[in-house]
Amino acid sequence: MSSKLCDNVKIDKQLSKEDILRELEAMANISNWEIDLVTNESIWSEQSYKIYALDKETTKPSVKLFYSHLIEEDVLRAHTTFANLLTSKKAASLECSIIDAKGNKKYLVLNAKVIFDKDGNPLKMIGTTQDITEISILKKNMNEFSRIMHNSLNEIYIVDYNTQKYLYVNNGACQALGYTQEELLKMKVYDINPYLTLEEVNTLKKKYNENNGTLLVRAVHQKKDKTIYHAQSYIHSITYKDKKAYVIFDTDISDLIKLEEQIKHQATHDSLTSLPNRALFNDRLSQIIKSSKRNNEKFALLFIDLDQFKKINDTLGHYIGDEVLKITSSRLEKSIRADDTLARLGGDEFTIILKNIIDISDISKICIKIIEEIKKPMIVDGHTLYISTSIGISKYPQDADNEKDLIKYADIAMYKTKDEGRDGFKYFSTNFSASTYEKILLDNSIRVAIKEEQFIVYYQPQYNITTNEITGMEALVRWRHPLEGLISPAKFIPIAEDNGLIIEIDKIVMKKAMQQFAFWHKEGLNPGILALNLAIKQLNKDEFVPMLIQTMKDLNFNPEWLEFEVAESQVMSNAGNCIKKLKELSELGIEIAIDDFGTGYSSLAYLKKLPLDKLKIDKSFIRDISSNEDDTAITKAIIALAQSLNLKTIAEGVEDELQKKFLINNGCNNVQGYLFAKPLPADKITKLLREIKG
Does residue 397 have a cis bond before it (omega within 30 degrees)?
yes
pLDDT tops 50 at residue 437: no
Instruction: Specify the CATH class of 268-432 in words.
Output: alpha beta
Separation CA 473–CA 81 (nearest Å): 63
Residue 470's Cβ-count burial label (10 Å; 0-12, 13-18, 19+) is: buried
Strand, coil or helix: 423: coil
Angstrom distances, CA of residue 658 to CA of 398, 464, 599, 621, 653:
50, 16, 22, 13, 13
pLDDT tops 50 at residue 588: yes
Question: What is the end-to-end Cα distance of the chain in Å, rounded?
Answer: 78
At 11, the pLDDT band (50, 70, 90 cuts) reads very low
**pLDDT at 16 (0 to 100):** 46
**pLDDT at 575 (0 to 100):** 65
Q: Which residues contact 337 (CB under 8 A, 6 or more apart)?
A: 354, 355
> What's the one-letter identity of residue 67?
Y
Separation CA 563–CA 513 (nearest Å): 12
Residue 609's Cβ-count burial label (10 Å; 0-12, 13-18, 19+) is: middle
> What's the one-letter identity of residue 152?
S
Separation CA 206–CA 200 (nearest Å): 10
Q: What is the mean pLDDT of residues 326-343?
A: 92
Q: What is the mean pLDDT of residues 241-264?
A: 84
In CATH, the number for domain 136-258 is 3.30.450.20
Strand, coil or helix: 121: coil
Separation CA 499–CA 372 (nearest Å): 11
Phi, psi (degrees; rounded to nearest 5) at 671: -145, 165
* Number of other CB atoms surrounding residue 29 within 10 Å: 21
Residue 426's Cβ-count burial label (10 Å; 0-12, 13-18, 19+) is: buried
Kindly report, residue by residue over 199-217, the tens digit of the pLDDT.
888 888 888 888 888 888 8
* Number of other CB atoms surrounding residue 497 within 10 Å: 18
In CATH, the number for domain 16-131 is 3.30.450.20
Q: Please, are residues 551 and 514 in contact by the beta-carbon 8 Å criterion?
A: yes
Q: What is the mean pLDDT of residues 17-40?
A: 60
**pLDDT at 129 (0 to 100):** 87
Sign for the CA dihedral angle at 130, 133, 139, 143 comes to negative
Q: Which residues contact 33 (CB under 8 A, 6 or more apart)?
A: 5, 6, 7, 8, 9, 42, 43, 44, 45, 48, 126, 127, 128, 129
Q: How many residues does the chain have?
A: 694
Q: What percent of the chain has pLDDT over 90?
A: 41
Q: Please, are residues 44 and 4 in contact by the beta-carbon 8 Å criterion?
A: no
Sign for the CA dihedral angle at 179, 185, 187, 193 comes to positive
**pLDDT at 592 (0 to 100):** 92
pLDDT tops 80 at residue 264: no
Q: What is the mean pLDDT of residues 439-453?
A: 78
Q: What is the pTM for the complete model shown?
A: 0.42
Q: What is the mean pLDDT of residues 289-311?
A: 90
Phi, psi (degrees; rounded to nearest 5) at 638: -65, -45
**pLDDT at 589 (0 to 100):** 94
- Are 268-432 and 448-693 the same fold in CATH? no
6-10, 194-198, 589-593 — which is least confidently predicted? 6-10
Spatial CA neighbour of 659 closest among 623, 633, 634, 635: 623
**pLDDT at 214 (0 to 100):** 84
Kindly report, residue by residue over 356-397, the tens digit of the pLDDT.
898 888 899 999 999 999 999 999 888 889 899 999 999 999
Q: What is the mean pLDDT of residues 482-487?
A: 86
Separation CA 6–CA 113 (nearest Å): 13
Spatial CA neighbour of 185 closest among 240, 132, 108, 133: 240
**pLDDT at 689 (0 to 100):** 94
Q: What is the mean pLDDT of residues 160-189?
A: 92
Q: Please, are residues 392 and 426 in contact by the beta-carbon 8 Å criterion?
A: yes
- Architecture per CATH, domain 448-693, reads as Alpha-Beta Barrel (3.20)
Q: Can you give the residue ranges of every domain in the chain?
A: 16-131, 136-258, 268-432, 448-693
Using DSSP bridges, classify how beta strands 591-597 and 562-567 pair: parallel, antiparallel or unpaired. Answer: parallel
Phi, psi (degrees; rounded to nearest 5) at 214: -135, 140
Q: Which residues contact 427 (CB under 8 A, 6 or more apart)?
A: 363, 393, 394, 395, 413, 433
Strand, coil or helix: 175: helix
* Number of other CB atoms surrounding residue 6 within 10 Å: 25
Kindly report, residue by residue over 109-119, the tens digit of the pLDDT.
988 888 888 88
**pLDDT at 34 (0 to 100):** 81
The mean predicted confidence, pLDDT, of the chain is: 85
Separation CA 129–CA 545 (nearest Å): 51
Angstrom distances, CA of residue 595 to CA of 13, 528, 532:
20, 18, 10
Q: Please, are residues 443 and 436 in contact by the beta-carbon 8 Å criterion?
A: no
Q: Please, are residues 155 and 172 in contact by the beta-carbon 8 Å criterion?
A: yes
Q: What is the mean pLDDT of residues 601-609?
A: 66
Q: Which residues contact 535 (CB under 8 A, 6 or more apart)?
A: 502, 503, 506, 570
* Number of other CB atoms surrounding residue 661 within 10 Å: 12
Element (H, E) at 112: strand 105-116
Using DSSP bridges, classify how beta strands 243-252 and 155-160 pair: parallel, antiparallel or unpaired. Answer: antiparallel
* Number of other CB atoms surrounding residue 644 within 10 Å: 9
Strand, coil or helix: 624: coil
Q: Please, are residues 631 and 621 in contact by the beta-carbon 8 Å criterion?
A: yes
